[in-house]
Chains A and B, each alone.
Chain A
Amino acid sequence: MTPTNNPPALAIDALRFRYGAQKGNSFELHLDSLRLESAEEMLLIGRSGCGKSTLLQLIAGLLDPTSGSIRIGGSDIHAVKGATRDRLRGRTIGMVFQTFNLLQGFSARENVQIALLMSDALAGDRAESNARAEALLRSLGIEQLDALAEELSIGQQQRVAIARALVCRPTLVLADEPTASLDPENALNAVRVLRDACREQGAALLVVSHDPSLEAHFARRYTLNSTKAVAT
Chain B
Amino acid sequence: MNDFGIVVRSLRVRAFSTTVVIALVAMSAGLLLAILSLRTAGQRAFERGTGNAHLLVSRDGSPLVSVLNSLFYANPPKAPIDAAAVTALRESFPWAMFVPTAIGDSYRTFPVVATVPEYFTKFEPVFGEPWTFAQGRAFTADFEVVLGSSVERDTGLRLGAKIVLTHGSGKSREGVDEHAHEHREYEFTVVGILAPSGSPHDRALFTDLDSSWMLHAHDRFERAGTHKTVTPADLTEADRVVTAVMLRLPSRDGVSAPPALMSQYDKLRRDGSLTVALPANEVQRLFDIIAGIDVLFLAMAMATLASSAVAILLSMVNSMSERSRQVAILRVLGASRARIFWLVLTESTLIGLVGAAIGVVVCSVVLYAATEWMRSAHGIVIAPQLDARSAILVAMGTTLLAAAAGIVPSVLAYRTSVARSLRPVG
Chain A residues in the interface with B (C-beta under 8 A): 53-54, 57, 60, 62-63, 82-83, 86-87, 89-91, 95, 97-99, 101, 103-106, 110, 113-115, 117-121, 124, 126, 129, 164, 168, 177, 180-181
Given contacts A82-B338, A83-B339, A101-B328, 9 further A-B contacts (CB under 8 A): A57-B419, A83-B337, A87-B336, A90-B334, A95-B332, A97-B424, A101-B329, A118-B339, A126-B1
The answer, yes or no, to whether B157 is at the interface (CB within 8 Å) is no
Binds A, one of B8-16, B186-194, B199-207: B8-16
Q: How far is the CA of A19 from the CA of B3 in the complex (A)?
A: 35
Pairwise interchain contact B333-A82, C-beta atoms closer than 8 A: no
- Given the known inter-chain contacts A62-B332, A86-B331, A110-B9, please indicate yes or no for A117 contacting B1, CB distance below 8 A: yes
Q: How far is the CA of A118 from the CA of B419 in the complex (A)?
A: 18
Pairwise interchain contact B2-A117, C-beta atoms closer than 8 A: yes
Partner of A110, one of B1, B3, B331: B1
The answer, yes or no, to whether B330 is at the interface (CB within 8 Å) is yes
Q: How far is the CA of A101 from the CA of B6 in the complex (A)?
A: 16
Q: How large is the interface on B (under 10, 10 to 19, 20 to 34, 35 or more residues)?
A: 20 to 34
Partner of B333, one of A83, A110, A115, A180: A115
Across-interface contacts of B333 in A (CB, < 8 A):
90, 114-115, 118-119, 164
Partner of B424, one of A82, A110, A180: A180
Q: Quick one: CB contact mask for B328-355 with A, threshold 8 Å, 1 for yes?
A: 1111111111110000000000000000
The 9 closest A-B pairs by CB, nearest first: A90-B334, A105-B13, A119-B334, A83-B336, A118-B333, A118-B334, A118-B335, A86-B336, A113-B1
Q: List 24 A-B contacts (CB under 8 A).
A: A57-B418, A62-B331, A62-B418, A83-B336, A83-B338, A86-B336, A86-B339, A87-B336, A89-B332, A90-B334, A91-B334, A97-B422, A98-B424, A101-B325, A101-B422, A103-B329, A105-B12, A114-B330, A115-B333, A118-B333, A118-B334, A118-B335, A120-B334, A126-B1
Q: How far is the CA of A54 from the CA of B420 in the complex (A)?
A: 11
Q: How far is the CA of A117 from the CA of B331 in the complex (A)?
A: 12
Q: How far is the CA of A118 from the CA of B9 in the complex (A)?
A: 15
- Given the known inter-chain contacts A101-B325, A106-B9, A110-B9, please indicate yes or no for A82 contacting B334, CB distance below 8 A: no
The answer, yes or no, to whether B326 is at the interface (CB within 8 Å) is yes
Q: How far is the CA of A126 from the CA of B336 in the complex (A)?
A: 21
Residue of A nearest to B419 (CB): A57
Could you say which of B6, B329, B334, B419 has the most chain A C-beta atoms within 10 Å of its C-beta? B334
Chain B residues in the interface with A (C-beta under 8 A): 1-3, 5-6, 9-10, 12-13, 325-326, 328-339, 418-419, 422, 424-425
Across-interface contacts of A117 in B (CB, < 8 A):
1-3, 6
Across-interface contacts of B332 in A (CB, < 8 A):
60, 62, 89, 95
**SS of B interface (majority):** helix
Instruction: Output the least CB separation between A187 and chain B (Å).
Output: 15
Residue of A nearest to B5 (CB): A110
Residue of A nearest to B15 (CB): A105
Pairwise interchain contact A89-B1, C-beta atoms closer than 8 A: no
Pairwise interchain contact B419-A105, C-beta atoms closer than 8 A: no
Instruction: Output the least CB separation between B255 and chain A (Å).
Output: 69
Across-interface contacts of A54 in B (CB, < 8 A):
419
Across-interface contacts of A121 in B (CB, < 8 A):
334
Pairwise interchain contact A115-B334, C-beta atoms closer than 8 A: yes
Pairwise interchain contact B9-A63, C-beta atoms closer than 8 A: no
Across-interface contacts of B330 in A (CB, < 8 A):
114, 118
Q: How far is the CA of A90 from the CA of B13 in the complex (A)?
A: 24
Residue of A nearest to B326 (CB): A103
Residue of A nearest to B335 (CB): A118
Pairwise interchain contact B9-A82, C-beta atoms closer than 8 A: no
Pairwise interchain contact A105-B424, C-beta atoms closer than 8 A: no
Pairwise interchain contact A86-B334, C-beta atoms closer than 8 A: yes
Residue of B nearest to A83 (CB): B336
Across-interface contacts of A168 in B (CB, < 8 A):
334
Across-interface contacts of A180 in B (CB, < 8 A):
424
Instruction: Output the least CB separation between A90 and chain B (Å).
Output: 2
Q: How far is the CA of A119 from the CA of B336 in the complex (A)?
A: 9
Instruction: Output the least CB separation between B325 and chain A (Å).
Output: 7
Across-interface contacts of B1 in A (CB, < 8 A):
110, 113-114, 117, 126, 129
Across-interface contacts of A95 in B (CB, < 8 A):
332
Q: How far is the CA of A106 from the CA of B13 in the complex (A)?
A: 9
Instruction: Output the least CB separation between A83 and chain B (Å).
Output: 4
Q: How far is the CA of A82 from the CA of B339 in the complex (A)?
A: 11
Pairwise interchain contact B424-A124, C-beta atoms closer than 8 A: no
Instruction: Output the least CB separation between B350 and chain A (Å).
Output: 16
Q: How far is the CA of A168 from the CA of B12 in the complex (A)?
A: 27
Pairwise interchain contact B334-A124, C-beta atoms closer than 8 A: no
